[in-house]
């Protein structure tokens, strides 16, 4: 199909909670939404960057520049038979995987709509509902942590993940474990430790976590491999894995025993699928991460999670947890920890236009 025009919007949605991680605190979600148009149809995707380069290097601003000045001018007016063909056009350019993913994912949505098929089917998904967990930000007290864990356990989430940082790690984890001995519990450090913190990491090792997510720096596979040898708890890598090749190296090196896939971090669904296949070839479990996405990004994550290798609960919890009003009309709500995979064409989402206008901070239209 020939891409006719594109619309980039910067949106800002208030979050229902204050989300604190080892790298910062946010009370709203500011992100780039891309609409691609062809044959009277639209395809949607959102970029997983944030305003600041705290998770990885890319930001909303760098993604906007790359999309507006390089990637979109390159593809508008051009005929692409399938996502593979589009990806080949982006392939020579280094990095910028979050910006690339935005374009690739919107193309998948558009292409699936043109074939009148749900995205999950084109990706090779096999499930009509997926198990989901929840990622809970750093709370101000242990008591508040216990209360929010209790609330989400009652809502049926199949795994609870606590954000941790140096100075706030064994305290909440040991308290939650004491109160919930059988809970599937994990922790995400977002790169905030080094091997010098070994004694604390060994104390965390005794909590019986299902896995510990990204304890060390994003660019340090070697130290993760050293740490994995000193811990029983499996290490799961998130920030470190930007490609299927990264996943292969991490698993080969023993830097991780499982992988968190985020399609928006990996450059798109094709690379996410290759990463899925690499993990499967190592017998490594997989799960789908999240970046506090609106209904557009969330739907992409859910479609991807319908593939067979996603055996552990993802971070794709109910949209209503995050936002009072979402930019999509369709609900994305889990019941007893199971999220249904949308069945409409493409990602199966339509935009709430009136609300979209209200939360738009900036808009750029490109045509060829």
CA 297 → CA 84, 101, 282, 332, 349, distances in Å? Answer: 20, 11, 28, 11, 10
Please, which of residues 176-195 interact with Mg ion by CB under 5 A?
188
Count of H-run helices and E-run strands, the chain:
15, 13
Q: Which of 16, 262, 312, 362 is catalytic?
A: 262
238 lies in the site for Mg ion, by CB under 5 A: yes
Using Cβ positions, the residue closest to Mg ion within the complex turns out to be: 238
CA 278 → CA 118, 138, 331, distances in Å? Answer: 24, 32, 32
Nearest distance in Å: CB 187, Mg ion? 10
Please, which of residues 299-318 interact with ligand OSB by CB under 6 A?
315, 317
Nearest distance in Å: CB 92, ligand OSB? 28
Distance CA 335, CA 27 (A): 26
125 lies in the site for ligand OSB, by CB under 6 A: no
Candidates 65-73, 74-82, 116-124, 289-297: pick the segment binding ligand OSB (CB under 6 A).
289-297
**Encoded tokens for 127:** 């499930």
Nearer CB in complex with Mg ion: 315/326: 315
188 lies in the site for ligand OSB, by CB under 6 A: yes
Query: Which segments of 66-218 are extended strands (E)?
Result: 129-131, 134-136, 160-163, 185-188, 212-213
55 lies in the site for ligand OSB, by CB under 6 A: yes
Candidates 97-105, 201-209, 218-226, 285-293: pick the segment binding ligand OSB (CB under 6 A).
285-293
Contact 170, 177 (CB under 8 A): no
Beta carbons within 8 Å of 342's beta carbon, 6+ residues apart:
118, 299, 302, 303, 330, 332, 348, 349
210 lies in the site for Mg ion, by CB under 5 A: no
Pick from 171, 136, 158, 87: which is nearest to 310 by CA?
158
Nearer CB in complex with ligand OSB: 113/262: 262
- The answer to whether residue 163 is catalytic is yes
Q: Tell me the number of residues near Mg ion by CB under 5 A.
A: 3
Which of ligand OSB, Mg ion, none does residue 135 bind (CB under 5 to 8 Å by kind)? ligand OSB
The radius of gyration computed from the CA coordinates of the chain, to the nearest angstrom, equals: 20
Which of Mg ion, ligand OSB, none does residue 207 bind (CB under 5 to 8 Å by kind)? none
Helices 170-179 + 142-154 axis angle, to 10: 50
Distance CA 312, CA 145 (A): 23
- 30 three-class SS: strand
DSSP structural state of residue 348: -
289 lies in the site for ligand OSB, by CB under 6 A: yes
Nearer CB in complex with Mg ion: 56/113: 56
Please, which of residues 215-254 interact with ligand OSB by CB under 6 A?
238
Q: Which of 163, 245, 249, 362 is catalytic?
A: 163
Q: Which residues of the shown chain bind ligand OSB in the complex (CB under 6 A)?
A: 55, 135, 188, 190, 238, 289-292, 315, 317
Annotated catalytic sites, by residue? 163, 262
Q: Which residues of the shown chain bind Mg ion in the complex (CB under 5 A)?
A: 188, 213, 238
């Amino acid at each position: 199909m020939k891409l006719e025009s594109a619309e980039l919007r910067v949106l800002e949605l208030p979050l229902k909670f204050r989300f604190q991680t080892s790298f910062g605190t946010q009370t709203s979600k500011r992100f780039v939404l891309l609409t691609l148009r062809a044959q009277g149809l639209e395809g949607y995707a959102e970029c997983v960057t944030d305003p600041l380069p705290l998770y990885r290097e890319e930001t909303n601003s760098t993604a906007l520049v790359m999309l507006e000045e390089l990637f979109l001018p390159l593809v508008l007016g051009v005929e692409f038979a399938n996502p593979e063909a589009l990806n080949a056009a982006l392939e020579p350019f280094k990095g910028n995987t979050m910006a690339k993913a935005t374009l690739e994912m919107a193309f998948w949505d558009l292409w699936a709509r043109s074939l009148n098929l749900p995205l999950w089917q084109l990706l090779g998904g096999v499930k009509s509902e997926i198990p989901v967990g929840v990622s809970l930000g750093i709370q101000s007290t242990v008591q508040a942590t216990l209360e929010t864990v209790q609330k989400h356990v009652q809502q049926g989430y199949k795994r609870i993940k606590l954000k941790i940082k140096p100075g706030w790690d064994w305290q909440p984890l040991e308290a939650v474990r004491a109160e919930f001995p059988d809970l599937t519990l994990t922790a995400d450090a977002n790169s905030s430790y080094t091997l010098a913190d070994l004694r604390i990491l060994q104390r965390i090792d005794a909590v019986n976590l299902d896995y510990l997510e990204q304890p060390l720096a994003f660019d340090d596979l070697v130290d993760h491999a050293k740490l994995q040898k000193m811990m029983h708890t499996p290490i799961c890598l998130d920030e470190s894995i930007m490609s299927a090749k990264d996943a292969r190296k991490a698993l080969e090196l023993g830097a991780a025993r499982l992988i968190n896939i985020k399609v928006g971090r990996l450059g798109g669904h094709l690379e996410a699928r290759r990463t899925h296949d690499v993990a499967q070839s190592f017998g490594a479990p997989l799960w789908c991460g999240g970046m506090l996405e609106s209904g557009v990004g969330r739907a992409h994550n859910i479609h991807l999670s319908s593939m067979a290798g996603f055996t552990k609960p993802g971070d794709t919890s109910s949209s209503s947890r995050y936002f009072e009003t979402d930019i999509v009309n369709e609900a994305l709500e889990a019941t007893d920890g199971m999220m249904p995979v949308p069945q409409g064409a493409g990602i199966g989402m339509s935009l709430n236009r009136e609300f979209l206008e209200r939360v738009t901070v900036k808009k750029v239209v490109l045509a060829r």
